[in-house]
Amino acid sequence: MPEFERLSDEELLKFKKLLLEEKQKVMETRSNLLQQTIGQAVFDSIGEDAHYTMHLGDLASATYDREFNMSLSERQSKYLEQIDDALQRIADKTYGVCQVTGNRIPMERLEAVLTTKYSVEGKEKLKREGN
Q: Is the pTM above the cut of 0.75?
A: no
CB atoms within 10 A of CB 32: 14
Residue count of the chain? 131
Predicted local confidence at residue 20, as pLDDT: 98
Of all helices (H) and strands (E), which one includes residue 23? helix 9-46
Give alpha helix (H) positions in 1-131.
9-46, 56-91, 107-112, 120-129
Q: What is the pLDDT of residues 52-84, one digit of tens each?
A: 555 666 666 666 776 776 777 788 999 999 999
